[in-house]
């Protein structure tokens, strides 16, 4: 995947995160205003039923929205709210999350992420509000 210098910096910032590495996220696609993340289902992310834990879905969806927002704003973002709807359990393979921008203002950005299994069934959906940091330091 060929990225502009700005998007490459966004990708590097996220992929260096300990959370990103712990969850096993992989970036499949990144362009300004859109991302696709992949998360392999692993034993460490399962719930007591042997399926992907809801918190793992939440982490994937939140991160897909965060990297998508950062691709547009080029500034750090902070999640201020997030709703999730769970549709299907996943117990093997991988889950993909596609993030996109819904609306923007000078201080807030609203994003959406949809998660799919390897058969392209939607397994979860989220909408989140993110505060845009306008601080001089770029974390």
Task: Give the CATH number for residue 123.
Answer: 3.10.129.10
**Residue 137 forms part of a structural domain:** no
**Tally of structural domains, the chain:** 1
**Residue 111 forms part of a structural domain:** yes
Residues facing 116 on adjacent strands:
96, 122
Cα separation, 110 vs 58, whole angstroms: 16
**Residue 138 forms part of a structural domain:** no
pTM of the model: 0.93
Q: How confident is the model at residue 134 (pLDDT cuts 50, 70, 90)?
A: confident
Q: How confident is the model at residue 3 (pLDDT cuts 50, 70, 90)?
A: confident
Cα separation, 7 vs 29, whole angstroms: 11
- Predicted pLDDT of residue 35: 97
- Predicted pLDDT of residue 135: 67
> Which pair of tokens denotes residue 1?
């995947």
- Residue 105: how many other CB atoms lie within 10 Å: 8
- Predicted pLDDT of residue 123: 98
pLDDT at 79 over 60: yes
Per-residue model confidence as pLDDT tens digits over 18-72: 999 999 999 999 999 999 999 999 999 999 999 999 999 999 999 999 999 999 9
Domain membership of residue 82 as a residue range: 5-132
């Amino acid at each position: 995947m060929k990225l502009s210098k700005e998007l490459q910096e966004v990708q590097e910032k996220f992929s260096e995160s300990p959370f990103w590495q712990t969850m096993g996220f992989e970036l499949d696609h990144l362009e300004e205003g859109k991302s696709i993340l992949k998360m392999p289902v692993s034993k460490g992310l399962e719930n007591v039923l042997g399926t992907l834990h809801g918190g793992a879905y939440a982490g994937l969806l939140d991160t897909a929205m965060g990297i998508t927002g950062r691709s547009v704003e080029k500034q750090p973002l902070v999640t201020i709210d997030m709703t999730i709807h769970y549709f299907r359990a996943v117990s093997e393979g991988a889950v993909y999350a596609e993030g996109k921008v819904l609306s923007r203002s000078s201080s807030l950005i609203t994003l959406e992420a949809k998660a799919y299994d390897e058969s392209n069934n939607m397994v979860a959906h989220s909408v989140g509000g993110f505060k845009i940091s306008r601080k001089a330091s770029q974390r």
